[in-house]
């Protein structure tokens, strides 16, 4: 449905050339919800704007629904864009129009009947009672629902979402993501999401691509990519999103010297093969001492666990070494952060 081939984009700032995209290949199958994730400046927003040619690639081919957009003339491109809905981070609704009139705008521009269709769309996104309201009278989540309704007005086959939930609170984000599932399920709408939020991708996406420095560095299912990243760029991004601060009380007593009166502090990364409770029980049995779960940031998807946790255990050198060896034998990444002295 969406096929990007060797997409490059160069911006010129005076005499300086900035390469925002570097030979990007990306495919999204019909009816699939796919996500592109990465840090600020990775090239995500430039990439999605190249899909509908709001930014024309410097090089490469863009094909959507079987039409090579990069080869179309201006008139044919305008026609093709009617099949591509677009939702941005900030709802661009016209303040002088009612919500119903905002949703009707693309229908008016294409000469299609609007009245009945607008009612259907407002009901679909759950704001039928706001049809006569102005944008300023709606909450951020309601305005985003109106934007989605407008993007679906011409019955597109593809919906592009550029950080569509990043300005919303967690509860509203969940409702918007659930809203996007409906046309995907009922109409096989193909959706491409651009985001920096891993939770968004894990909630709705079937495939994910990680971008870094204008390139796609890794792609696959969210479980495979997030639990077993293959490239250093992907590992660095995922590690940053899973960063766990050592609690202040522990940090104040942390040293690099092992001691019988201190507890070793381990950082353990789950990669899908084991769950946190099982690891703690296994270490407790093997070492014959209690293991403390200091803090964790873990997820569960498709029957697998992944994430990071901090564990405290007997600080004797042999016990720490046995724990590290046991975990590494199972392919679990572990790092000894130091040794936490007992309270005086």
pLDDT in tens, 120-160: 899 988 899 999 999 999 998 899 999 999 999 999 999 99
> Is the residue at 242 inside a domain?
no
Question: Domains in the chain: how many in total?
Answer: 2
Q: Where are the alpha helices (DSSP H) in 74-114?
A: 74-81, 99-110
Of 164, 194, 229, which residue sits at a domain end? 229
Kindly state whether residues 223 and 257 are assigned to the same domain: no
Kindly state whether residues 174 and 257 are assigned to the same domain: no
Kindly state whether residues 183 and 256 are assigned to the same domain: no
Looking at residue 305, what is its pLDDT?
A: 67
Neighbouring C-alpha atoms within 13 Å toward the C-beta of 270: 25
pLDDT for residue 302 is more than 60: no
Kindly state whether residues 274 and 171 are assigned to the same domain: no
pLDDT band at 260 (very low <50, low <70, confident <90, very high): confident
**Rg value, the chain, Cα:** 25
> Is the residue at 241 inside a domain?
no
Which domain CATH number covers 296? Answer: 3.30.70.260
Kindly state whether residues 23 and 137 are assigned to the same domain: yes
> Is the residue at 266 inside a domain?
yes
Of 229, 263, 284, which residue sits at a domain end? 229
Which domain CATH number covers 54? Answer: 3.40.50.300
Looking at residue 285, what is its pLDDT?
A: 86
Kindly state whether residues 84 and 135 are assigned to the same domain: yes
Q: What is the mean pLDDT of residues 10-15?
A: 86
> Is the residue at 239 inside a domain?
no
Mean pLDDT of the chain: 87
Check residue 242 and report its DSSP letter.
T
Kindly state whether residues 58 and 131 are assigned to the same domain: yes
Cα–Cα distance between 280 and 320 in angstroms, integer?
Answer: 14
> Is the residue at 23 inside a domain?
yes
3-state SS, residue 270? strand
Kindly state whether residues 50 and 133 are assigned to the same domain: yes
In this structure, are residues 103 and 152 in contact, taking their beta carbons and an 8 Å threshold? no
> Is the residue at 42 inside a domain?
yes
Kindly state whether residues 157 and 34 are assigned to the same domain: yes
Q: What is the mean pLDDT of residues 162-184?
A: 83
- Per cent of the chain over pLDDT 90 is 42
> Is the residue at 243 inside a domain?
no
Kindly state whether residues 221 and 252 are assigned to the same domain: no
Give the residue numbers spanning the domain of 293: 248-341
Q: Give the pLDDT confidence of 265-286 residue by residue, as tens digits.
A: 998 887 665 555 678 888 888 8
> Is the residue at 291 inside a domain?
yes
Cα–Cα distance between 115 and 103 in angstroms, integer?
Answer: 10
Kindly state whether residues 144 and 26 are assigned to the same domain: yes
Kindly state whether residues 133 and 69 are assigned to the same domain: yes
Looking at residue 343, what is its pLDDT?
A: 66
Lowest mean pLDDT among 130-134, 173-177, 294-298, 305-309: 305-309
Lowest mean pLDDT among 61-70, 237-246, 290-299: 237-246
Looking at residue 9, what is its pLDDT?
A: 96
Cα–Cα distance between 321 and 191 in angstroms, integer?
Answer: 48
Looking at residue 128, what is its pLDDT?
A: 93
Give the other-Cβ count within 10 Å of 79's Cβ: 11
């Amino acid at each position: 449905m969406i096929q990007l081939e060797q997409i490059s984009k160069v911006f010129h700032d005076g005499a300086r050339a900035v390469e925002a995209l570097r030979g990007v290949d990306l495919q999204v199958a019909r009816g699939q919800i796919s996500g592109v994730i990465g840090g600020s400046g990775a090239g995500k927003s430039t990439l999605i704007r190249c899909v509908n040619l709001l930014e024309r690639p410097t090089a490469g081919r863009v094909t959507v629904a079987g039409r090579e957009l990069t080869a179309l003339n201006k008139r044919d491109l305008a026609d093709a864009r009617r099949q591509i809905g677009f939702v941005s981070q900030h709802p661009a609704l016209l303040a002088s129009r009612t919500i119903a009139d905002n949703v009707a705008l693309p229908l008016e521009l294409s000469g299609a009947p609007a009245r009945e269709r607008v009612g259907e769309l407002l009901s679909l996104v759950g704001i039928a009672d706001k049809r006569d309201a102005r944008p300023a009278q709606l909450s951020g989540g309601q305005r985003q629902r109106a934007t989605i309704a407008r993007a679906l007005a011409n019955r597109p086959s593809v919906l592009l979402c550029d950080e569509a939930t990043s300005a919303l609170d967690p509860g509203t984000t969940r409702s918007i993501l659930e809203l996007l599932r409906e046309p995907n399920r009922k109409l096989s709408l193909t959706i491409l999401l651009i985001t920096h939020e891993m939770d968004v991708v894990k909630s709705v996406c079937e495939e994910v691509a990680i971008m870094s420095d204008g390139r796609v560095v890794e792609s696959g299912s969210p479980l495979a990519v997030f639990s077993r990243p293959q490239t250093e760029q992907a590992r660095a991004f995922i590690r940053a999103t899973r960063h766990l601060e050592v609690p202040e009380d522990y940090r104040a007593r942390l040293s690099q010297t092992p001691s019988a009166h201190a507890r070793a502090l381990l950082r353990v990364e789950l990669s899908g093969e084991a769950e946190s409770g099982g690891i703690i029980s296994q270490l407790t049995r093997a070492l014959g001492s209690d293991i403390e779960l200091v803090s964790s940031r873990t997820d569960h998807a498709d029957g697998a666990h992944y994430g990071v946790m901090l564990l405290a255990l007997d600080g004797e050198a042999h016990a720490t070494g046995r724990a590290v060896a046991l975990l590494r034998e199972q392919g679990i990444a572990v790092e000894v952060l130091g040794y936490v002295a007992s309270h005086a």
